[in-house]
Homo-oligomer: A and B are copies of this chain.
């Protein structure tokens, strides 16, 4: 374990580097922060910290910057406390409690997160493993075209247009509607999915309808909308100094357009069930090794859970981002409680 002086030096080194983006030298530490030790002393301590893997020297005659391990120690043990801003609270509330349909709301949340922090905001679609089916509805468009609409207990709606191979009139549709709803209302989506796939042939229903229902359920259950995530803030993050060179930008954009990568990244937030930080290599995505990721979940009991996250340079103000992400997660959950009850 590090002694007090080493902790202090590490802490100030991390803080200064986050602010200045310049390797921190012993001279700056001694002079700017008036620590009471001479540069030479500090130099010795920093050499020790480097040996133990907390600091890195970009080249021989440069100051030092924190390693992943240095950031990790800082975040785990040296943080002074979270910094929650009034203005953030106001904005988060005003977006989340405005009336919007689901998808639009989540998209706005992603935009808001990047807007307020200049980092990337990511929102994972709600995962519905424990939700129940509320209603199946059919809307007859014309001739053989029908819209099938499924509503879940969590208020998520998913629809699809299908073209039938033979015309179905409103009476017949009504029979199907009543029958399906009687059978499936308030059943878990999971179960409905299994019943439909197993007994596929035994339903005396137009095959297209059964197939489409299965399709809709699968999407609701396993992927939100195609591994759905909303990502926002590319244009914001490029202003940071770590993304000045074109190749880093390219690899970053490659990753961020790959929805699968992001959704599985956010998905892992479920396991931790709370505020999580991953720093650099810990993220386990080489292209993001200059970044940190802060995630949390939003939820209502067990029936609906999703997660949100921010991706930014490792050089981020953790005090602020941690507080902010927590705020957004909590506010989203509150909104769920308000609408769907406890």
- Please tell me if the beta carbons of A226 and B104 are within 8 angstroms of each other in the complex: yes
Interface flags, A126-138, vs B, CB<8A=1, else 0: 0000000011010
- Please tell me if the beta carbons of B134 and A139 are within 8 angstroms of each other in the complex: yes
| A244 (CB) vs chain B CBs: closest residue | B246
Of A32-40, A160-168, A192-200, which binds chain B? A160-168
| A157 (CB) vs chain B CBs: closest residue | B159
Interface flags, A154-185, vs B, CB<8A=1, else 0: 01011111110000000000000000000000
Chain B residues in 8 Å Cβ range of A225? 103-104
- Please tell me if the beta carbons of A147 and B157 are within 8 angstroms of each other in the complex: yes
Chain B residues in 8 Å Cβ range of A135? 139
Given contacts A157-B149, A339-B163, is CB(A257)–CB(B234) below 8 Å?
A: yes
CA distance A107 to B134 in the complex (A): 27
- Please tell me if the beta carbons of B157 and A141 are within 8 angstroms of each other in the complex: no
Interface flags, A210-247, vs B, CB<8A=1, else 0: 00100100000000011000001011001100001110
Interface flags, A232-274, vs B, CB<8A=1, else 0: 1011001100001110011001100100000000000000000
Extra contacts, 13 of them, besides A101-B160, A134-B147, A235-B250 (Cβ < 8 A), are A99-B162, A99-B212, A100-B160, A134-B139, A137-B137, A145-B339, A145-B340, A155-B161, A161-B339, A234-B234, A235-B254, A246-B249, A249-B249
In this assembly, does A90 line the interface, its C-beta being within 8 Å of a C-beta of chain B?
A: no
- Please tell me if the beta carbons of A151 and B149 are within 8 angstroms of each other in the complex: yes
In this assembly, does A142 line the interface, its C-beta being within 8 Å of a C-beta of chain B?
A: yes
A residues engaging B (CB < 8 A)?
99-104, 107, 134-135, 137, 139, 141-143, 145, 147, 149, 151, 153, 155, 157-163, 212, 215, 225-226, 232, 234-235, 238-239, 244-246, 249-250, 253-254, 257, 338-341
Chain B residues in 8 Å Cβ range of A239? 250
Min CB distance, A240 to chain B, in Å? Answer: 11
| A153 (CB) vs chain B CBs: closest residue | B141
CA distance A195 to B253 in the complex (A): 47
- Please tell me if the beta carbons of A232 and B249 are within 8 angstroms of each other in the complex: no
Chain B residues in 8 Å Cβ range of A245? 246
Q: Can you report 26 residue pairs joining A to B where beta carbons are below 8 Å apart?
A: A101-B159, A101-B160, A102-B161, A103-B225, A104-B225, A134-B139, A137-B137, A139-B151, A141-B153, A141-B340, A142-B341, A143-B341, A145-B339, A149-B157, A151-B159, A155-B161, A157-B157, A163-B339, A232-B257, A234-B234, A234-B253, A234-B257, A235-B250, A235-B253, A238-B249, A246-B249
Min CB distance, A270 to chain B, in Å? Answer: 23
- Please tell me if the beta carbons of B101 and A158 are within 8 angstroms of each other in the complex: yes
| A135 (CB) vs chain B CBs: closest residue | B139
Chain B residues in 8 Å Cβ range of A100? 160
Chain B residues in 8 Å Cβ range of A141? 134, 153, 155, 340
Min CB distance, A280 to chain B, in Å? Answer: 22
- Please tell me if the beta carbons of B250 and A238 are within 8 angstroms of each other in the complex: yes
Min CB distance, A301 to chain B, in Å? Answer: 13
| A154 (CB) vs chain B CBs: closest residue | B141
Min CB distance, A286 to chain B, in Å? Answer: 16
CA distance A107 to B153 in the complex (A): 27
CA distance A257 to B226 in the complex (A): 21
Closest 6 CB pairs of A and B: A157-B159, A155-B161, A139-B151, A235-B254, A135-B139, A235-B257
